[in-house]
């Protein structure tokens, strides 16, 4: 189609943002979470390895929750092989209600994928005011500014992923600042704003 630039309007995937986010108090244990299809493409096994690479001192202060379907058995076997099965909880598939409850209870969201578009899980986590650790693939770099509203590591780099996890476990102030900036960053993706923009477009076309 021969369209002028001013004739093209891009609307991002909308996300329903909670009206407010919980005050995440230091419980002594930092809860990390992955939500997505369990397997190589999403970097689940890299995440388990990165968690196992943490020093015992740091690992004792954290818990890794993995939710989703896919290669659950393989993930469990890997966690056991690396002696972290006591700290890695495989939740299986979860409903949207359980997912929202999980977002309200965790401290860090991690999705170390090898390829993506712009995952809804990242938008939702950021909407819940969570600091995220992600990879610069697909549309993710358009949203995440590493060190400002999240942390980015190269896909497949278990060492850097482990370092990023350790950094957030040790630094509560950084978790708070990244989480606050993350929520601000996704306000433009709010479904209410999306519906308003869509309504405006229809009105202008009528």
Work out the pLDDT band at 196, boundaries 50, 70, 90: low
Q: Output the domain CATH number for residue 147.
A: 3.40.50.2000
CB 77 within 8 Å of CB 11: no
Residue 195 belongs to some domain of the structure: yes
Q: Which of 22-31, 86-95, 179-188 has the highest mean pLDDT?
A: 86-95
Whole-prediction pTM value?
0.88
How much is the pLDDT for 102? 96
Its domain, for residue 112, covers 27-205
| The total number of structural domains that make up the chain | 1
List Cβ<8 Å contacts ≥24 apart for 148-153: 148/178, 148/181, 149/178, 149/181, 149/182, 149/184, 149/185, 150/126, 150/178, 150/182, 151/178, 153/112
Render pLDDT for 86-132 as a digit per residue (tens, 0 to 9): 999 999 999 999 999 999 999 999 999 999 988 999 999 999 999 99
Work out the pLDDT band at 5, boundaries 50, 70, 90: low
Q: What are phi and psi of 158, to 5 degrees?
A: -65, -35
99 is written with which tokens?
């997912």
β-strand pairing of 88-92 with 62-67: parallel
Residue 111 belongs to some domain of the structure: yes
Residue 199 belongs to some domain of the structure: yes
Q: What is the secondary structure of 132-154 as a DSSP string?
A: EEE-S-TTGGGT--BTTTBEE--
Residue 22 belongs to some domain of the structure: no
């Amino acid at each position: 189609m021969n369209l002028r630039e001013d004739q093209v309007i891009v609307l991002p995937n909308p996300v329903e943002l909670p009206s407010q986010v919980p005050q995440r108090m230091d419980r002594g244990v930092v809860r990390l979470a992955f939500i997505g299809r369990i397997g190589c493409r999403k970097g689940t096994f890299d995440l388990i390895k990165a968690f196992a690479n943490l020093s015992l001192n740091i690992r004792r202060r954290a818990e890794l929750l993995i939710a989703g379907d896919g290669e659950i058995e393989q993930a469990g076997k890997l966690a056991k092989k690396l002696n972290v099965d006591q700290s890695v909880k495989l939740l299986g598939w979860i409903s949207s209600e359980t997912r929202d409850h999980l977002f309200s209870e965790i401290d860090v969201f991690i999705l170390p994928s090898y390829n993506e578009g712009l995952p809804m899980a990242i938008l939702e986590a950021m909407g819940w005011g969570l600091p995220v650790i992600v990879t610069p693939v697909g549309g993710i770099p358009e949203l995440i500014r590493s060190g400002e509203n999240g942390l980015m590591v190269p896909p497949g780099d278990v060492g850097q992923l482990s370092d990023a996890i350790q950094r957030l476990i040790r630094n509560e102030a950084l978790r708070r600042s990244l989480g606050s900036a993350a929520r601000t960053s996704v306000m433009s993706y709010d479904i209410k704003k999306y519906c308003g923009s869509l309504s405006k477009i229809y009105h202008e076309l009528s």
